[in-house]
Amino acid sequence: MSATTEATSHRERKKRATRQAIHEAAFELVDQLGFSATTIEAISDRAGVASRTFWSYYPSKEYAVLDRDPFLAERLRDALLTRPADEDPVQALRAVLEGYVGDRLVDSHKAVRRQALVRREPHLMAALAASFDELERALVSAVAERLGTDPATSLRPSVLVMAACGACRVAQQKWADEQGRRPFHGLVEEAFRELAGELTPMAALSGGAGRR
C-alpha cells in the first residue's frame, strides 16, 4: 500500500469513526431525554466533536439518530439494476430490500430500540417517511428501466415497488414487535409468500392486463 493510499484509508476510517460517534451520541441522548430536549451541542459534546463538525456529517438531528446514508437511494437503485435481467421484478426487489434491511438488523437489540424510538418520536417518524419516499422513487426508476417502461405513463413500476416495500416493511415491523425472536429472513419469506398468494388470482382474473 502506497503512503498516499494509506493516508486516504486512514482518513476514511477516521471519518467513519466520527460519523458513528455522532450517530451513537444522538441515538442514546434522544432515547434517554427525548427528541426536543436533545440539542446539537449536547450530541457534539457527547461525541467529542465541535458543533460545526456535526453539520459536516448530518443535516439534522433526525438524520443523525437514524444514521441516514445520503447515498442510500442511489446505492439501492444500482443494486436493483445489477440483478439478473430475466429475474422477476418482485423477486429482484425482495433480494435488494431484504439485504439492506437485514444488514440494519444485525445488532438486534439496537434495531428493536430504534424501532421503538421512531414510534414514539414524531420527528423521527416524519424523517423516516421522507427517507422511504426517496428510496421508493429511486426503486421505481430502476424497475421502470428494467421493464423498459415509463413510470410517468405506466403504473406497474410503482405498484410493484410499493407492494414489495410494503411486504418488507410488514416483516420488519413484525420482527420488531416480536423482539427479534423469529429470524427476519423467515418473516420476509412469509410476507412475500402472502403477497404472491394474493397477486396470483388477481393476475389470472385480469388476464395479465396492464403488464405490457
Question: Binning pLDDT at 50, 70 and 90, where does residue 199 land?
Answer: low
- Reduced DSSP (H G I as helix, E B as strand, rest coil) percent helix, strand, coil of the chain, to 5: 75, 0, 25
Question: Binning pLDDT at 50, 70 and 90, where does residue 3 land?
Answer: low
Domains annotated for the chain, with CATH where assigned, are 3-65 (1.10.10.60), 69-206 (1.10.357.10)
> Would you say how long the chain is, in residues?
212
| Tens of pLDDT, residues 98-122 | 999 888 888 888 888 998 999 999 9
pLDDT for 211 equals 47
Question: Binning pLDDT at 50, 70 and 90, where does residue 201 land?
Answer: low
Question: Binning pLDDT at 50, 70 and 90, where does residue 5 land?
Answer: low
What are the residues whose beta carbons fall under 8 Å from the beta carbon of 85, sequence distance 6 or more?
146
Please choose, from the candidates 47, 28, 48, 49, the residue with its C-alpha nearest in 3D space to the C-alpha of residue 38.
28
| Tens of pLDDT, residues 67-79 | 988 899 999 999 9
